[in-house]
Amino acid sequence: MAIMTTTSSPAFQPVLERIAEEMERTPGRPADYIPALAACDPRRFGMAVAELDGTVYGVGDWRVPFSTQSLTKVFTLALDLAREGDALWEHVGREPSGNPFNSLVQLEYEAGIPRNPFINAGALVVTDRLQTRTGDAAGELLAFLRAESGNPALDFDEEVAASESRHGDRNAALAHFMASYGNIDNDVPVLLDQYFRQCSLTASCADLALATGFLARPGIRADGSRLLTRSQAKQVNAVMLTCGTYDAAGEFAYRVGLPGKSGVGGGIVAVVPGRCTLCVWSPGLDERGNSVAGVAALERFTTLTGLSVF
């Protein structure tokens, strides 16, 4: 499937331009607990929409690479689910956590099984399992995103990865705790290196809107090959809807009405099954780690276009 780009569309471009005008004074602050992200200008804003054939439209800073952070959890989940199927769900749940994304509270009560694959504990389990199956989980992720976005220049940001490693004690605690229950296969330092590299990947809104397209197609990659079954694509979209924005997932579903996944770099990807995929980026975050302007922009998109799963 050819990937094309354009800057005009009779359907989406006027909507994006209207949204960009409305987002100019949206508040929020960057993720200052990751020093490499703290200097981001919270006023930056970009948004892209990719149709099923790979045509992509954008506005603002839609071509500017940013730190993807937890957005990559969608892709590692899909890559591992494609390999091991339902066996994955014996090691990680599918329920909203109701707690912050880096919480340790539920793990002890639930015998080291994380609530879902998008909180940090669950993402560590998924990365661990993908590492076992590929020998290089981060490399597998990078190759996939380069292929789906059509951008061979995508890469990891070693400064961000090092920054996260230096301030990664909570993630190390999560990994060691789950290892004590036998829910981690690889040595924890190896897992953490893979996980921090995964989260450090930089990409633009255009790249990520295109790369998420397999979830709208459903399960079909940009080259026409199948990554996931229809059922598996539905599963990923469902977990995105219920768990993709941490302990604000209910509010996100209420306001936006689409499967979505946020990251503390300020990005959010969203899926309109059978129609298109989106990515929005603005580094100003709310207290739950979600982009303030990003959520507002997606809410306006679904309101203006009528595109929603509800």
Name, in order, each residue with C-beta under 8 angstroms of 130's C-beta and a sequence gap of 6 or more: 76, 79, 80, 83, 137, 140, 141
Tokens encoding 73? 């959890």
Tokens 């993908």 found at? 130
Tokens encoding 43? 């006023």
Distances (CA, A) of 111 to 4, 182, 214: 47, 10, 33
User: Which of 223, 205, 206 has its CA nearest to residue 214?
Assistant: 223
Give the amino acid at 224.
G
Q: What's the gap between Cα 168 and its chain centre?
A: 19
Tokens encoding 249? 């997932």
Tokens 């006023």 found at? 43
Name, in order, each residue with C-beta under 8 angstroms of 133's C-beta and a sequence gap of 6 or more: 80, 83, 84
User: Which of 59, 53, 49, 63 has its CA nearest to residue 4?
Assistant: 53
Residues labelled catalytic? 70, 73, 195, 246, 264
Phi, psi dihedrals of residue 285, rounded to the nearest 5°: -105, 155
